[in-house]
Amino acid sequence: VVAAAGGAHLLAEMLDSPPHIPLIDKEAGERLMRNALVVLKALSAHKPCVKTLVDANVVPLLAAWVNNDKTKLDQMVIATEALAHIARYSKGARTEMIDEHHLIKRFLGDKNERGGEGAPGLLLDGSEPIAHSAFMLIDSLANKDAVRMHVIQDTYLMKIVLDIFDAGDQDLQTALGRILIKLADKDTCRLALQRLNLKQPIADLFLSAGSPAARAVACMLLGALVSSHDGGIA
């Protein structure tokens, strides 16, 4: 589908120039584009397809959908998840998503934008329906120390973390916890996270977890945060 049948280039062309649909059939047109994104997401989850998708210039087209405030939420969710799959398998795509399309800033904001006034991202209130998809993408992107430190120091991560832990949504807490485990992987990042005082809300998640997955993530995250020479934290 993706290569021999030209699926990657066909789908990229649809994203770049959506087919003209008469106004009376607007809903049909929206379903068509949503289905195109669904197919892209399915293909992007299959590692052998990713290089062909990247070569077909799918990444900037999907990023444009995510960065467009007029994109319907369900379409933005699907496009974000497709980018997360591609980022997991393609180093070049990860760099492009961070440096050229600013997708971390899109979701987590940037405190240094606008002359220091800051630019909030889509997740600042901690309750956006796109949060699960955004965390999937950020989890795929945050695999270098420099990127991890950028997430910790330059974005509104702490505010988002506190909002999500205050809201009590354990599914979101678990998804976010997986990212925090990755951020805590290196000493410099771990020390920065320790200063955010996350121990109590994570301990609360561990004690009240409604699923084995949530409890496991909370346990791993607590272990990651205390894995240092600072005996006081332990």
pLDDT band at 223 (very low <50, low <70, confident <90, very high): confident
pLDDT band at 117 (very low <50, low <70, confident <90, very high): low
CB 107 within 8 A of CB 137: yes
Q: Name, of 1-10, 89-98, 175-184, 214-223, the range with top average pLDDT.
A: 89-98
Q: From residue 125, give the alpha-carbon distance in Å to each of 20, 187, 212.
A: 36, 29, 27
Q: From residue 31, give the alpha-carbon distance in Å to each of 26, 124, 147, 149.
A: 9, 29, 36, 39
Cα gap 182→195, rounded to integer Å? 16
pLDDT at 127 over 70: no
pLDDT band at 5 (very low <50, low <70, confident <90, very high): low
pLDDT at 128 over 60: yes
Cα gap 77→87, rounded to integer Å? 15
Cα gap 44→40, rounded to integer Å? 6
By the 10 Å C-beta count (0-12 exposed, 13-18 middle, 19+ buried), 94 is classed as: buried
Cα gap 33→38, rounded to integer Å? 9
- Under 8 Å CB-to-CB from 25, ≥6 apart: which residues? none
pLDDT at 2 over 70: no
Cα gap 134→123, rounded to integer Å? 8
For tokens 């996350």, name the residue. Answer: 198
151 vs 230, more confident: 151
Cα gap 204→215, rounded to integer Å? 10
What is the residue-averaged pLDDT of the chain? Answer: 84
pTM of the model: 0.85
Cα gap 227→8, rounded to integer Å? 44
Least confident range of 33-42, 81-90, 113-122, 160-169: 113-122
The model's pLDDT over 136-180, given as tens digits with 9 standing for 90+, comes to 999 999 888 888 888 888 898 888 887 887 777 788 888 888 888
Torsion 53-7-13-83 (CA) sign: negative
pLDDT band at 17 (very low <50, low <70, confident <90, very high): confident
200: closest CA among 165, 168, 171, 230? 165
Q: What pLDDT is stored for residue 197 in this prediction?
A: 76
Q: Which pair of tokens denotes residue 42?
A: 């399915």
96: closest CA among 55, 154, 49? 55
The model's pLDDT over 34-70, given as tens digits with 9 standing for 90+, comes to 999 999 999 999 999 999 999 999 999 999 999 999 8
